[in-house]
Chains A and B, each alone.
Chain A
Amino acid sequence: MIFEYSLIALLSPLVGSILAAFLGKSLGKTFVNTSTILGVMISFVLSCILALEIYQTSTVLNQNIYTWLNIGSFSFHIGFLIDNLTASMMVVVTFVSLMVHIYTIGYMHDDPGYHRFFAYISLFTFSMLSLVMANNFLQLFFGWEAVGVMSYLLIGFWYTKESAIKANLKAFLVNRVGDLSMILGIGIIFSITGSLDYQTTFFESQNLAQTELFFINEWNISALTASCMLLFGGAMGKSAQMPLHVWLPDSMEGPTPISALIHAATMVTAGVFLLARMSPLFELSSTALSFVLIIGATTALFTGILGLIQNDIKRVIAYSTLSQLGYMVAAAGVSAYSVSLFHLMTHAFFKALLFLAAGSVIVALHHEQDIRKMGGLKSKLPITYVTSLIGSLALIGFPGFSGFFSKDALIEAIGHADIFGSGFAYASVIVGVFITALYSFRLFFKVFHGSINEHHSDVKESPVSITLPLILLAIPSVMVAWPTVGPMVFGSYFATSIAQPDAYQIFGYEYSTAYGFLVHAFSGPVIYIAMMGVLTAYVLYIQKPNILKGKSFESTFIYRLLENKYYFDDLYEEVIAKQARNIGQRFWSLGDVKIIDNWIVNGTAYRIGNIANRIKVIQTGYIYHYVLMMILGLAIFLGWTIISAGYAS
């Protein structure tokens, strides 16, 4: 039963997408949204049933459905690995996807690319599901690339806008860097274990750890550490970790539902999912874990700071996403994979909510995204206001909201860890809490409070297809953590799918109930720091907004550093891209133009013409010249024959 359900859950969004893509134009908008929403809804319902079934029976389904290829002793399969990890990812993905599908009806309803959009997001759902349901690296890589392609297509959905085309190209290229690293990691694993199946690979992990890879100068590294680092390189690209984070803020050029679905809730968390899936390998390499931890913590803090000065409503949330992804990755770095997945789940809900709420504001203001031109929308957009408040409170970790449980558990896990880099990571995430609260409420106050901008006096609340997903997402943003924090973080929910130390070792204290956890949190600093952040935002943006105005603030070194995003873009543009273009130019002018075109192709033709020009002089047309040649030729050959016959005898 589990197998059939998973197959249907995987394929129904694909069917919906195909129907919308090929019949959508002729059968109209109602057909398009019905078929795709139905597909995703079937998938969601089946995912819920599967998740319950697997949780109750604690089974693990690991089954190949199709053998793609046999080469010698290697075989490549397509198969499912359905356990608690997969099932919970499937629920999150299909739920957010369903909400985004409904939301899109309202958001895109007069866009000429309506059916194309629905076809893309359904196809994306299929790709994401095949990524999380994979039982081998090959299928994982397929899903990994497929979501990348869908992200590319959807960022550039408005393909007549130049900035969108540049952004999707950037996203694609930066992801290629990560993907190259990932395929190298898979290659190392495959070359040593001879298999792409997760189970076989994990079984052989000791073998991987004992194999040493040699570089030049006696510099060697265990195959396990190398492959973990390389796989994490792939995760860095997809989950936008520093220094490969540059594509995510630019991806906000795409339509808002995409930002919610792909660039907040699902695709960018694929890297975190990968870390959890590969936990049996990562657990054996403390070097790789420290690397993961430091990268994650750096991303969590420094991208959060960038969110403080952005003025585009979606970019603020994008930087917030980067920062939260950093939190998740850092938690994986201290072996608290379950916490990181728990944060992934709660984050998917409240970040999708925040993005969709931002989209609602954007629609209501006729595609205005600059928060400096907003203000006082509290009474105009009541539903958006309340749901945004819920999302922001969940994001900053306000006690009782879902984000609180996940973030508090996450910070405690990092604080309790003692691997290399954990001190730095703990400091980063603690400061990150303050930053998160500050930018979240800066955005919130600037958009919904303050004075009403006179341009927006006729603003009306968005239609029900937009507000319904907001409400439906607000519910899990508040409540999802209460029943799940026990089994997921402290219990054995993930025991069948993730290799990690038990909860006591990670947190250093006993868990009783969710309420007990809440009370315990008040003895830590996190809540108070978050409240300080909110208070600071209140003072800076409501009470005394004049403090930050004026030239002196905007001309400081730090402000310029932040405004230029730590010069990462300039670094890449000036150093890497420019050098790459330079090298390409040289190869082109030397190899292509000079050697191939000039020497080989045109050179051959030119040389033949040249030789022919010289030879044709002897073709005079006079009979006596030909006769002379004949006689000379005859004399030479005869002479040769006679002389050689003389030598032979």
Chain B
Amino acid sequence: MVTLQSYLTLSALVFSIGITGIIINRKNIIIVMMCTELLLISVNFNFIAFSHQLQDLSGQVFVFFILTVAAAEAAIGLAILVALYRNKKSISVSELNTLRN
């Protein structure tokens, strides 16, 4: 029996994987972007689960919006990444500490 709780648990797991990926990853900025996608997906999962549970379609409408925005964001993110690579010849996260100054 697949209950709402199972969906939520899965969503929480995916979210945790995404967070952990962002935090412990030191090498590759593409992985950070992938983890961001994971976060979004876990949120979408939640929306769909609650939408089904409450019989309310607006949750699923939200998911479409989020997917669209996520696609656009991924495109922009990749563009920034290309520009960054051109400048630094590296996509390593541990070298990106210019926020400090």
Contact = CB atoms under 8 A, between A and B. Distances in A.
B100 A631 contact: no
Most buried by A among B23, B24, B32: B23
Nearest to B32: A623
Nearest to B96: A623
B31 to A, nearest CB: 11
B26 A623 contact: no
Nearest to B97: A621
Contact of B96 (A619, A622, A628, A631): A622
B101 A624 contact: no
A627 interface: yes
B43 interface: no
Contact of A624 (B25, B98, B100): B25
Interface residues of B, number: 15
A624 B23 contact: yes
B94 A622 contact: yes
B98 A621 contact: yes
Interface string B6-48: 0000000000000100111110000010000000000000000
B93 A623 contact: yes
A115 B44 CA distance: 97
A628 B99 CA distance: 15
Contacts of B32: 623
B23 A627 contact: yes
Contacts of B26: 624
A623 B99 contact: yes
A620 interface: yes
A628 B25 CA distance: 12
Q: At the interface, is chain A mostly helix, strand, loop or mixed?
A: helix
A624 B24 contact: yes
Interface string A611-635: 0000000011111101110010000
Contacts of A626: 99
B100 to A, nearest CB: 3
Contact-residue size bin, chain A (C-beta under 8 Å from the other chain): 10 to 19
Contacts of B93: 622-624
B23 to A, nearest CB: 5
Contacts of A631: 19, 23
Nearest to A622: B97
Contacts of A620: 97, 100
Interface string B57-70: 00000000000000
Nearest to B99: A621
B23 A628 contact: yes
B95 to A, nearest CB: 10
A622 B24 CA distance: 11
Contacts of B98: 621
Interface in A148-179: none
B48 to A, nearest CB: 23
Contacts of B97: 620-622
A621 B100 CA distance: 4
B32 to A, nearest CB: 7
Contacts of A621: 96-101
Contacts of B19: 627, 631
Contacts of A619: 100
A619 B98 CA distance: 11
Nearest to A625: B23
Interface in A571-626: 619-624, 626
A627 B22 contact: yes
B35 to A, nearest CB: 10
Interface in B79-101: 93-94, 96-101
Contacts of A623: 22, 32, 93, 96, 99
B85 to A, nearest CB: 16
Nearest to A627: B22
A121 B85 CA distance: 89
Contacts of A627: 19, 22-23
Nearest to A624: B23
A626 B23 CA distance: 9
A624 B92 CA distance: 12
Contacts of B22: 623-624, 627
A619 B94 CA distance: 14
A42 B96 CA distance: 93
A622 B95 CA distance: 8
A622 B92 CA distance: 11
Interface in A290-349: none
A628 B22 CA distance: 9
Given A620-B100, A622-B93, A626-B99, 16 more contacts: A620-B97, A621-B98, A621-B99, A621-B100, A622-B94, A623-B22, A623-B96, A624-B22, A624-B23, A624-B26, A624-B93, A627-B19, A627-B22, A627-B23, A628-B23, A631-B19
24 contacts: A619-B100, A620-B97, A620-B100, A621-B96, A621-B97, A621-B98, A621-B99, A621-B100, A621-B101, A622-B94, A622-B96, A622-B99, A623-B22, A623-B32, A623-B96, A623-B99, A624-B22, A624-B24, A624-B26, A626-B99, A627-B19, A627-B22, A628-B23, A631-B19
Interface of B: 19, 22-26, 32, 93-94, 96-101
Give me the 7 closest cross-chain CB pairs, A-B, nearest first. A621-B100, A621-B97, A621-B99, A624-B23, A628-B23, A627-B22, A622-B97
Interface of A: 619-624, 626-628, 631
